[in-house]
Amino acid sequence: MALKRRSKKGENSSETAKEISKTIMEKKESTVPVEWFTTGSTMLNLPLSGNPNFGIPRARVTNFVGDGSAGKTVVALEIAYNFLRYAREIKSRIFNSVKEPIVIYNNGEGVMDFPLDKMYGTKFKGLVDWRRSQTVESLGRDYLKEAQALKKHQSLLYIIDSWDQFRSIHDQKILEAKDEDVAKNMQLKKQQYAWHFFSDVCGLIEDNRVDATLIVVSQTKKKIGVTFGDKSYRTGGDALNFYTHLVPWLRVVNKVTKTKHGEKRVYSIDSEVKVKRSKVSKPFRISQFRILYDYGLDDIASMANYLKGKGMSSFKGNSMGDLHAFSKKIEEQGLKEKMSRKCGKYWARVEDAFSQEVSERKQKDL
């Protein structure tokens, strides 16, 4: 049975699953042989895949990189929720139909303080296998063991949050010994192991042999004294640059406030996603999405902000002036999917304009 979410999201499970399945089945055989899962947010899906229903490439490695409080963990949780909710209903050209979706969340911090029952319903927490590996080596063994043990009709979503929290056995011994002379070599063993681990991961999922999707969360760090180029970087070494299939970077661009009982407080944030690397879609696409505290990804508000930028002030007669009131009306009237398709059409119109320019060039041939 599909997991049911609080009705406030206003989503129709079967309708959304049919939309995703239809789009997957309509893709031509000649296109890139990759299928997708949704993030739960249209305005996050679009820059990642170019499609309002798609966000995370199935049986691939996605690395979310971001500043603190930019929404990396919330995005990972939303992907896990939507995977549990829709994976059974998606028809695939590549994999067996899913009867048992498996979510493993390997949390390096060891705590999960989000109000999960409030955000995703009472079943979600019990359906996720929460783990905390002690070292990066044990983390790697755990993922490879689970992926290799998958049976037919099983699909695995494995989330590492975050890569920065896990040390190598070598680094752990250095910390325990408090040896300052060798402490400068910290992270080197982890980076060396990363090359072997991610190489094994990509070998395992080569040619879609295993239905195992890996999401790695990474924290940004600031470069000191940099005046030109990127001022932030991601730790982990070049293995994450080489073996990942999709690398979206997140950052907070706006803190949304509201006044209640005479006090102004932040109740949501707008985060920007920028695709810095992609082997499965077009890179360098940028969009914004909203995160509502104690709720998660606010799909309707995110779409409303996007459509406002296109000059729209209402949708199907509903004013976008008050986003809270607007979102409730869209949910009550069951208009969320139509709104998502509208955003997808606007996004596709821009992409199609570039494709038209390319099609006008002389075609290459042998």
Q: Is residue 319 assigned to a domain?
A: no
Strand partners, 16: none
**CA–CA separation, 266 vs 14, rounded Å?**
34
pLDDT tier, 32 (very low <50, low <70, confident <90, very high otherwise): very low
- H/E stretch holding 85 reads helix 72-86
Q: Is residue 128 assigned to a domain?
A: yes
Q: Is residue 258 assigned to a domain?
A: yes
| CATH number reported for the structural domain that contains residue 140 in this entry | 3.40.50.300
Per-residue pLDDT of 252-270, as tens digits, reads 999 999 999 999 999 999 9
pLDDT tier, 73 (very low <50, low <70, confident <90, very high otherwise): very high
pTM, two decimal places: 0.88
Residue 119: give the domain boundaries: 20-297
pLDDT tier, 23 (very low <50, low <70, confident <90, very high otherwise): low
Amino acid identity at 222: K
Q: Is the peptide bond before 162 cis (omega within 30 degrees of 0)?
A: yes
Q: Is residue 2 assigned to a domain?
A: no
Q: Are 163 and 236 in contact (CB under 8 A)?
A: yes
Q: Is residue 323 assigned to a domain?
A: no
Domain count, the chain: 1
